[in-house]
């Protein structure tokens, strides 16, 4: 088994990347983004997280794996293979090696006993299922899939006005429910003494986070409460994909302040390398200190 991304003693955390996406521009992704503000942001954003010449954001599509003595949990399930995702062409009928990457670090699909989807957008549920003999079946045969009940009820209403999300619900959520592997959960659901689910609505109505509390460190898998490091410095920037931009901002700010106050390791779903870190105070707001120390501490 490969060395984990971080070892917290009673829990080991691994990261499996599906792809890097540079298809979104800051101005299209963040409707309130001011290009002139980039001069006030940390210089390490360029080029690993932002390409100013094209205005492209660098976003990682990845999953987290958490292994403890009791559980092996996959957090978020990326885009998946074989899925009909037009008009988003680079998500459409992918033939990626995600499962092989899992195997390389030491995990087989049958090893997982839980899959946690922070929300039901297409880039977080894709590997919930695989295509087998023309049918969508759960990828992880022994796992319970944790779905926010409120999120499920909202996602079930997707119609042709949101074709990608409707397709994702049909091919990556419903087959799990039909198989009996879905576990509908509420805010505050405790997996065990290490894991607690916390709702953080805004990006979607039932958007959730997963808190890992070990004796050594608290870590928070925040999904899409935050998408990009720019939002640490400008938390008011909600994305074009946010169901309720103002509520998304409030949930993001609350999460950032919690991470700052509790010295919590923040592990988002889309930050490019080094992928996670700590939130600290600065004179006029908050700043990000990468897990490996990248980025001047004064910024």
Domains of the chain, by residue range, sit at 6-290
How confident is the model over 97-148, as pLDDT tens digits?
Answer: 999 999 999 999 999 999 999 999 999 999 999 999 999 999 999 999 999 9
73-79 average pLDDT score: 98
Is 161's pLDDT higher than 90?
no
The CATH class for the domain spanning 6-290 reads alpha beta
Residue 292 has pLDDT above 80, yes or no: no
The dihedrals phi and psi of 175, each to the nearest 5 degrees, come to -60, -30
* CA of residue 205 relative to chain centroid, distance: 16
Give the model's pLDDT for residue 171.
98
**Residue 94: alpha-carbon gap to chain centroid:** 19
Q: CA-CA distance, 27 to 29, in Å (whole number)?
A: 6
Task: Examine the pLDDT at 296 and tell me if it is beyond 80.
Answer: no
pTM: 0.95
Give all strands of the β-sheet with 6-7 in edge-to-edge order: 6-7, 11-21, 59-68, 72-75, 114-116, 144-148, 182-185
Residue pointed to by tokens 């980039």: 38
Instruction: Give per-residue pLDDT as tens, 13-27.
Output: 999 999 999 999 999
Mean pLDDT of all residues belonging to the chain: 94
pLDDT at 36: 86
pLDDT above 60: residue 58: yes
Rg (CA), the chain: 18
* pLDDT of residue 160 exceeding 70: no
Q: What are the CA-CA distances from residue 250 to residues 100, 200, 208, 257 (Å)?
A: 38, 9, 14, 11
């Amino acid at each position: 088994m490969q060395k984990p991304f971080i070892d917290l003693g009673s829990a080991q955390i691994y990261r499996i990347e599906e792809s890097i996406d540079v298809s979104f521009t800051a101005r299209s992704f963040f409707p309130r983004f001011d290009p002139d503000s980039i001069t006030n942001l940390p210089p390490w954003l360029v080029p690993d997280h932002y390409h100013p010449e094209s205005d492209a954001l660098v976003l990682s599509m990845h999953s987290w794996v958490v292994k403890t003595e009791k559980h092996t949990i996959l957090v978020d399930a990326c885009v998946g293979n074989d899925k009909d995702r037009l008009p988003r062409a680079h998500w459409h009928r992918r033939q990626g090696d995600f499962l092989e990457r899992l195997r390389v670090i030491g995990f087989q699909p049958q090893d997982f006993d839980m899959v946690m989807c922070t929300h039901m957008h297409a880039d977080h549920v894709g590997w919930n299922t695989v295509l087998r003999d023309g049918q969508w079946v759960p990828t992880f045969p022994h796992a319970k899939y944790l779905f926010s009940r409120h999120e499920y009820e909202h996602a079930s209403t997707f119609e042709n006005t949101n074709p990608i999300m409707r397709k994702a619900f049909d091919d990556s959520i419903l087959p799990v429910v039909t198989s009996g592997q879905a576990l509908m959960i509420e805010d505050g659901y405790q997996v065990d003494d290490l894991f607690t689910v916390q709702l953080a609505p805004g990006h979607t109505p039932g958007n959730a986070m997963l808190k890992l509390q070990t004796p050594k460190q608290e870590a928070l898998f925040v999904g899409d409460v935050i998408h990009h490091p720019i939002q640490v410095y400008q938390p008011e920037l909600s994305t074009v994909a946010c169901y309720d931009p103002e509520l998304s901002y409030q949930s993001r700010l609350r999460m950032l302040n919690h991470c700052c106050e509790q010295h919590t390791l923040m592990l988002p779903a889309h930050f490019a390398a080094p992928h996670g870190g700590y939130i600290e105070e600065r004179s006029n707001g908050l700043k990000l200190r990468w897990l490996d120390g990248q980025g001047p501490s004064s910024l």
